[in-house]
């Protein structure tokens, strides 16, 4: 079955038009119009992996969608675009995909991936507005690989001439750092939807700011997981010249929560600002974060700002488990290295220094790692996850198929 999730707000693209567009692809098509659905952002609680396998703890209209997905082999996302990418309504739906996977990590086609809970699903995108076609194609491909499938393609369904001159179009506009006068103060925004107390990004920021402080730089921090901080975050964003957005990778790009926050920012600034990014993700390999980096490179110019570079690193998932002594020890080196990066950022005014480039580490796991992982580590990692799940009160197998296919 082919499932089409229509996330367009205005619903001005009709069921008949979508059916006509996909007519030669599959006869068995189900279109779900989500315009009136109540769907929240994924909050990264990990309960769908470690506490109630396959079941999302947010009780809203998404359960209806998951039950449809379990029966689908193809998934089309119909979405508006913003900043050249899927808008927050479309991304929010895809960020909630986690129950379709399970915690167990495996290597598929040489990439670290999570095991699919039910079956492989192909993914395609149908979009409106001035999306960056190349970026969307890569995102569709990567997202499909995530759930074991391939991309069905990316199609634009309108040609809005009024949008053609916008910077969010097919050309990636990067307005690079000019390294202004020595900074004294930085606004830091934590773009993770996970509550601050459990957020890995928060732990990274705490270490990074130790480095800033050692160089006499002060900072103010806002966490987007707390909506009551959004007004203040917006005001600080508009009135400061040095901004860092720190964020986790969410389904191959930035979290829907951050995309929503960005739509509330005015592009008319009184003074220019530089935005730099700290982007990190669960998987170790650097290349898994490169699409996110590409999107971030093009973002500051669309907000009337310059780009101060991105500090990129994978392998941060375990930071959440630092109450375990072994993991605490294992991850301390990583946090210390963020403090060093904070110091160097303060000296350089941006992330364009060579150490920031090296900071990512390996782009792809060497073949020997893949072999050892298959032979030994896979079972060890699985056992560890099972141990954590037990501690979280989980009573079912982590790969439980809760909804029938």
Closest CB 327 distance from ligand FMN, rounded Å: 13
CB within 8 A of 403, min separation 6: which ones?
54, 66, 67, 70, 118
Contact between 52 and ligand FMN by CB under 6 A: the answer reads no
Contact between 365 and ligand FMN by CB under 6 A: the answer reads no
- Of 98 and 221, nearer to ligand FMN (C-beta) is 98
Q: Is 224 exposed, middle or buried (0-12, 13-18, 19+ CB in 10 A)?
A: buried
Biggest CA-to-CA distance, the chain: 64
Chain centre to alpha carbon of residue 22: 28
Q: Which of 316, 331, 360, 365 binds ligand FMN (CB under 6 A)?
A: 316
- Of 4 and 94, nearer to ligand FMN (C-beta) is 94
Closest CB 307 distance from ligand FMN, rounded Å: 21
Identify residues 231-250 at the interface with ligand FMN (CB under 6 A): 248-250
Exposure on the CB side of residue 111, measured as CA atoms within 13 A:
17
Kindly state the helix (H) or strand (E) to which residue 6 belongs, with its residue range: strand 2-6
CA Rg value for the chain: 21
Contact between 199 and ligand FMN by CB under 6 A: the answer reads yes
Contact between 194 and ligand FMN by CB under 6 A: the answer reads yes
Closest CB 11 distance from ligand FMN, rounded Å: 26
Site pattern 254..283 for ligand FMN (x: CB under 6 A): --------------------------xxxx
Contact between 192 and ligand FMN by CB under 6 A: the answer reads yes
Q: Which of 79, 200, 207, 349 binds ligand FMN (CB under 6 A)?
A: 200
Q: Which of 125, 136, 208, 135 is nearest to 174 (CA)?
A: 135
What beta strand segments (E) does 49-143 contain? Answer: 74-82, 85-86, 101-108, 111-116, 121-128
- Of 13 and 317, nearer to ligand FMN (C-beta) is 317
Closest CB 257 distance from ligand FMN, rounded Å: 10
- Whether the CB-CB separation of 100 and 147 falls below 8 Å is answered with yes
Query: Total residues contacting ligand FMN (rule CB under 6 A)?
Result: 23
Nearest residue to ligand FMN on Cβ basis: 281
Separation between Cα atoms, residue 214 and residue 261, nearest integer Å: 31
β 85-86/306-313 pair status: unpaired
Contact between 222 and ligand FMN by CB under 6 A: the answer reads no
CB within 8 A of 85, min separation 6: which ones?
91, 131, 132, 135, 136, 139, 253, 259, 295
Q: Which of 80, 82, 138, 252 binds ligand FMN (CB under 6 A)?
A: 252
- Give the angle subtended at the CA of 227 by the CAs of 309 and 47, to the nearest 5°: 85
Query: 79 in the Ramachandran plot: left (φ > 0), alpha (ψ -120 to 50) or beta?
Result: beta
Closest CB 100 distance from ligand FMN, rounded Å: 11
Contact between 201 and ligand FMN by CB under 6 A: the answer reads yes
- Of 192 and 302, nearer to ligand FMN (C-beta) is 192
- Whether the CB-CB separation of 192 and 200 falls below 8 Å is answered with yes
Q: Which of 5, 22, 41, 44 binds ligand FMN (CB under 6 A)?
A: 44
Query: Which span (157-165, 198-206, 294-302, 337-345) binds ligand FMN, by CB under 6 A?
Result: 198-206
Closest CB 248 distance from ligand FMN, rounded Å: 3
Contact between 145 and ligand FMN by CB under 6 A: the answer reads no
- Of 48 and 177, nearer to ligand FMN (C-beta) is 48
Closest CB 390 distance from ligand FMN, rounded Å: 20
- Of 29 and 389, nearer to ligand FMN (C-beta) is 389
Q: Which of 80, 82, 95, 138 binds ligand FMN (CB under 6 A)?
A: 95
Site pattern 281..300 for ligand FMN (x: CB under 6 A): xxx----x------------
DSSP string, 230-247: HHHHHHHHHH-SEEEEEE
Instruction: List residues bridging with 114 in a β-sheet.
Output: 105
CB within 8 A of 95, min separation 6: which ones?
41, 42, 193, 250, 251, 255, 256
Binding positions for ligand FMN, rule: CB under 6 A: 42, 44, 95, 98, 192, 194, 199-201, 248-252, 280-283, 288, 314, 316-317, 320
């Amino acid at each position: 079955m082919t499932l089409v999730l229509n996330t367009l707000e205005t619903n001005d693209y009709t069921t008949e038009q979508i059916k006509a567009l996909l007519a030669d692809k599959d006869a068995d098509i189900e279109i779900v119009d989500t315009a009136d659905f109540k769907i929240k952002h994924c909050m990264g609680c990990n309960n769908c992996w470690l506490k109630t396998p396959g079941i999302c703890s947010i009780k809203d209209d998404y359960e209806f969608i998951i039950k449809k997905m379990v029966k689908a082999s193809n998934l089309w996302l119909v979405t508006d675009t913003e900043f050249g990418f899927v808008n927050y309504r479309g991304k929010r739906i895809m960020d909630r995909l986690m129950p379709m996977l399970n915690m167990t990590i495996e290597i598929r086609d040489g990439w670290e991936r999570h095991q699919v809970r039910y079956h492989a699903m192909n993914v395609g995108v149908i979009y409106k507005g001035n999306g960056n076609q190349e970026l969307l194609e890569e995102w569709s491909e990567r997202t499909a690989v995530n759930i074991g499938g391939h991309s069905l393609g990316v199609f634009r369904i309108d040609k809005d001439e009024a949008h053609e001159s916008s910077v969010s179009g097919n050309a990636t506009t990067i307005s690079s750092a000019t390294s202004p006068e020595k900074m004294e103060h930085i606004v830091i925004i934590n773009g993770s939807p996970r509550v601050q107390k459990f957020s890995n990004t928060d732990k990274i920021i705490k270490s990074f700011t130790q480095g800033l402080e050692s160089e006499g730089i002060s900072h103010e921090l806002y966490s987007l997981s707390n909506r009551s901080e959004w007004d203040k975050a917006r005001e600080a964003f508009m009135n400061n010249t040095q901004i860092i957005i720190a964020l986790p990778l969410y389904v191959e790009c930035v979290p829907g929560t951050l995309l929503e926050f960005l739509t509330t920012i005015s592009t008319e600034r009184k003074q220019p600002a530089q935005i730099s990014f700290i982007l990190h993700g669960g998987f170790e390999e650097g290349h898994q974060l490169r699409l996110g980096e590409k999107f971030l490179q093009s973002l500051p110019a669309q907000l009337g700002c310059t780009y101060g570079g991105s500090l990129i690193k994978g392998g941060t998932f375990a930071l959440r488990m630092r109450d375990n002594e072994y993991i605490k020890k294992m991850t301390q080196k990583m946090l210390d290295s963020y403090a060093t990066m904070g110091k160097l950022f303060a000296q350089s005014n941006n992330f364009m220094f060579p150490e920031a480039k090296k900071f990512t580490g390996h782009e792809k796991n060497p073949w020997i790692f893949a072999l050892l992982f298959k032979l030994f580590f896979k079972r060890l990692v699985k056992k560890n996850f099972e141990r954590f799940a037990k501690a979280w009160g989980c009573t079912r197998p982590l790969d439980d198929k809760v909804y029938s296919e």
